[in-house]
Each structure stands twice: as structure tokens, then as C-alpha cells.
A = this chain, B = another copy of it.
Amino acid sequence: MSDYKAFNVELADKVAHVVINRPEKINAMNADFWSEIIDIFRWIEDTDQVRAVVISGAGKHFSSGIDLMMLASLGSKMGPDVGRNAQMLRRKILELQASFNAVDNCSKPVLAAIHGYCLGGAIDLVSACDMRYSTVDAQFSIKEIDIGMAADVGTLQRLPRIIGDGMMRELAYTGRTIDGVEAQRIGLVNRTYDSPEALLDGVMGIAREIAAKSPIAVRGTKEMIRYMRDHRVDDGLEYIATWNAAMLQSVDLRVAMAAHMSKQKPEFAD
């Protein structure tokens, strides 16, 4: 893995562990963060040995969200014409969105392990992950409302599919902070753990379990669930039929069947 300024990345047991690594800045998302995350997920995509991904934060918190200095610097780039400023801002927002789209579109499952603060842009990030796990005392807040703006890098688009509509609106309008226990109750996290250590242990265990499955099967499964977020049931049925027309000819199915018959653990190629 290359050297990253805002991250630390490790690969073990077919699981890539992506750590946001600016603990002295509460892992605020600066310019390095936004560009490096694209490189990291391109590497994940291209590296067959990576079969699952875990994202966590170094230090006491997951992340406090976008670096306010970075946001402020946008203001300095504005010129006198409102129209041209709008074009520039629109392009800039689409660029930032692309960073989290890279996470959302990753063909391998991405698990977020969250402790401490998970604020503003950090909610946008974890909304783009497959599953979320946290400590009981983690703190979640859709903070953007408090800096006078509508969240624009994914929370308002992806979170309504994850938590209930009624609670979604309350959290987005008020910016109210919720802890891990409430987060689990509304479906934001799948499970809570008592400590950051237990959290990381638990999430790594789930990731390793996924990494031992057929990568052909996991990829197809993820593609279908991603597809259903935005499509009709009948289109989804047609799509999986077309997809599996090729994939059911894979050896993985035979490997799995043979292992099943002989009650052994199957080994799948990357």
C-alpha cells in the first residue's frame, strides 16, 4: 500500500483496514482525505486479495466531519458573478460526492466501526458503507444544519433508505445527537459494543467471515442490493437473472456444493 497522509491502510486475512488517521484533528476530513479515499478504493477495487473492507478512526473518535477550514476556503474562490460561482460550487460539490460514491460503488462489502464522534460529513461517509457498528457511547449528529446548510455529500440521499423516515427528518432538522443505543434502535447501526477494542474485534470478525465466502457470490449479492435501492422489483428480478446467467457457470458454485456435501469448509479463489 502507498503512503497516505490522512489514512493508514493495512491488509490482512483478505480484509483491508482503512483507518482515518488525523487523530489530533479529530479526524476532520481535509483535502488529502477527499482525494486519498478515491485512490484507496481504486486500489481495493483492483486488488483481488481484498474481499472485505473495514473503516475506522484513529484516536478517540471516528471523525468530526468535514474540515471547516476547507469549507471556508471555498468562499475565497468566489468571484463577482453569481452564475459562474454557482457553476464552480456545483462542480466542487460533485467532486466531493465522488469521494463517497467510490465507497458506495465499491464491489466489496465495506463495514464502518464507529466510536466517539461521528458528526456531519462522517454521517455522509458511513451512510455510503454497507453496514455500520458502533460503541454504545458513540455520538452521531447530522451537524450540517448547524452550519447553515443542507448536507450535500450523501446523508440526505442515502440515510432515508437506512433509518425510518420520521426519525430521519427529526435528526436532519434538529441536528440532535444520538448515542449507539438509539442508533441501533432506529437501524443506523447493526450492533453496539462496549468498548472500541471490542468493537474492532467484532467488526473484524464479521469482515473475515465475509472474506471467506465466494467472492463471485458476495459481489453479485452486493450488486443486487445496491441495485434494489433505486429500482423496481421486476427490474431487479430480470437483472439478477441476466447476472446469474453467467455467474452460475462459475466454479465457485461447484466448490461450494462439493464442500457442502463433504461437510468441509470451501476455499474460493480470489
Q: Assess whether A146 is interfacial by the CB under 8 Å rule.
A: yes
Number of chain A residues close to chain B: CB under 8 A? 107
Least distance between A127 CB and chain B CB atoms (Å): 10
Closest B residue, CB atoms, query A187:
B164
Which residues in chain A, 216-267, are within 8 Å of chain B measured between CB atoms?
A: 216-225, 228-257, 260, 266
Contact partner, A242, options B158, B163, B242, Cβ 8 Å: B242
Q: How many copies of this chain does the complex contain? A: 6
Closest B residue, CB atoms, query A52:
B173
User: A170 touching B156 by the CB < 8 A rule?
Assistant: no
Contact partner, A256, options B104, B147, B154, B221, Cβ 8 Å: B147
Contact partner, A148, options B149, B167, B169, B250, Cβ 8 Å: B250
Which residues in chain A, 155-198, are within 8 Å of chain B measured between CB atoms?
A: 156-158, 160-170, 172-175, 186-190
On chain B, the residues within 8 Å of A218 by CB distance are: 145, 173
User: B241 touching A109 by the CB < 8 A rule?
Assistant: no
On chain B, the residues within 8 Å of A229 by CB distance are: 160, 165, 232-233
**3 tightest CB-CB pairs across the interface, nearest first?**
A83-B250, A150-B220, A148-B256
A-B contact pairs, 22 of them (CB 8 A): A68-B260, A80-B251, A83-B216, A84-B269, A86-B246, A90-B242, A109-B169, A131-B167, A144-B221, A145-B214, A147-B256, A148-B217, A149-B216, A149-B248, A150-B223, A150-B243, A157-B228, A168-B225, A173-B213, A186-B187, A242-B246, A246-B246
